[in-house]
Structure 1
Amino acid sequence: MIKPFQFQANDVKVEKRETVFQGFFRMDKLWLTHPRFDGREMPVFTRELFIRGDATCVLPYDPVRDEVVLLEQFRLGALGRDQSPWLLELVAGMNEEGESPEDVARREGQEEAGLTFSELDKICDYLVSPGGSTEMIHLFCGLISTESAGGLFGVEHEHEDIRAHVVRVEDAIAMIHDGRINNAAAIIALQWLELNRSRLRKEAK
């Protein structure tokens, strides 16, 4: 039986690369080839690659009150679908040069929700859409108190308009099941919380 990951990054040959768009985001076009599983070489083909930096997302959770904080804000990518383009999401932000994911988590917790995390529990790192984007998400659960959480936040010059909602864990999970929460970071984090909730609540006592 052949094990996975027989090929590595150095097996890919990039014959040519050019930037075809540079705006708020960047798009590159690549001409490349790589070995095939059957031993042949793939003919040179082209792909467009969305160049987007890594980001960090945090699910704020109060293990004593058993509540999470979810952020409601407008998302252009959801416009035109059969749903509201205002989504319920996690605290999130792009990683700036020189910042660790933990630095970003703490900065964005303050900017987007007025929250200070007492502890950050690493959930996972995952590629958002590796078929065409470079973005990696660093995902955490951040422990907080929801006693005075909630309200309006966001950095105005970045055109952020955010409402922070305090939500019971059962209600947040129900919103995954009925489709009201349908973005990957929130789904992954809340499902992780389902698996780790008892441990976190026990450790908080």
Structure 2
Amino acid sequence: MEYVWRERRVEVGGRRRIYKVFEHPGSVVIVPEQDGKLALVRQFRPAVDAWLWELPAGTLEHGEEPLDAARRELEEETGLSARRLEVVASFYLAPGYSTERMTLVKALELTSVPAHPDEGEMIGEVRWFAPEELLRMAAAGQLTDAKTLAALLLVIPDRRPR
């Protein structure tokens, strides 16, 4: 898949501007939920040289629908398969420079399958967390991935840390 920077010429208030825009095919973030707990992956991110706790996520392949991508990414990264997938929301990740629109999908009625991360992915472990623990981690700055924080805001009903 090729990612491309393009220039966009925009006229706002009588002034012409040129913006560099990163064209992106879209992505998904998945919230695996079972028995009241949510699964996150610990993944190494070379851009920030750190291991981060994140919800599983990935880029749509050419022509792929978000629910199909969610099913594929969930299995690749976590070794889980969902009998039921529900779209919760859709949002832009960085509209200041990118067209990437992410679809948030809840994965329910889960079973185990063999995990098979993409070649470049470094996933250390998959762990289940109670929502309250994730809220405490977010408040303490231990969750630093924006897509994970946004998704948790939308899926945990009572978002106040205790």
TM above 0.5? yes
2:76 touches 2:115 (CA, 8 Å); kept in 1? no
Counterpart pick for 1:105 among 66, 70, 84: 70
Counterpart pick for 2:138 among 167, 176, 196: 176
Q: Does structure 1 residue 71 correspond to structure 2 residue 41?
A: yes
Aligned equivalents of 2:154, 2:18: Cα separation in 1: 37
Select the structure that is richer in strand. 2
Identify the residue that residue 159 of structure 1 maps to in structure 2: 120
Q: Does structure 1 residue 33 correspond to structure 2 residue 16?
A: no
5+ residue gaps, structure 2: none
Q: CA deviation at 1:58?
A: 0.4
Runs of 4+ with >4 A deviation: none
Counterpart pick for 2:96 among 118, 131, 155: 131
Q: CA deviation at 1:153?
A: 5.1
Identify the residue that residue 142 of structure 1 maps to in structure 2: 107
Aligned equivalents of 2:46, 2:7: Cα separation in 1: 24
What amino acid does structure 1 have at the position aligned with 2:108?
L
Question: 1:54-69, aligned counterparts within 5 Å?
Answer: 54-62=26-34, 65-69=35-39
Name which one, 1 or 2, has greater alpha-carbon Rg.
Answer: 1
Distance 1:191 1:35, change over 3 A: closer
Q: CA deviation at 1:131?
A: 0.8
Aligned equivalents of 1:33, 1:49: Cα separation in 2: 12
- Kindly indicate whether structure 1 or structure 2 has the higher relative contact order, using CA contacts under 8 Å at least 6 residues apart: 2
Distance 1:171 1:112, change over 3 A: same
What amino acid does structure 1 have at the position aligned with 2:121?
E
5+ residue gaps, structure 1: 1-22, 80-84, 198-205
Question: 1:80-95, aligned counterparts within 5 Å?
Answer: 85-95=50-60
Aligned equivalents of 1:129, 1:77: Cα separation in 2: 16
2:43 touches 2:122 (CA, 8 Å); kept in 1? yes
2:40 touches 2:126 (CA, 8 Å); kept in 1? yes
Q: Does structure 1 residue 193 correspond to structure 2 residue 158?
A: no
Select the structure that is richer in helix. 1
Q: CA deviation at 1:120?
A: 1.7
1:34 partner SS: strand
2:91 partner SS: strand
Identity of aligned residues (%): 28
Q: CA deviation at 1:87?
A: 0.9
What amino acid does structure 2 have at the position aligned with 1:121?
E
RMSD of aligned Cα (Å) = 2.5
What amino acid does structure 1 have at the position aligned with 2:5?
M
How many positions carry a matched residue from both structures?
158
Distance 1:168 1:45, change over 3 A: same
Aligned equivalents of 2:139, 2:153: Cα separation in 1: 11
What amino acid does structure 2 have at the position aligned with 1:33?
V
Q: CA deviation at 1:172?
A: 1.5
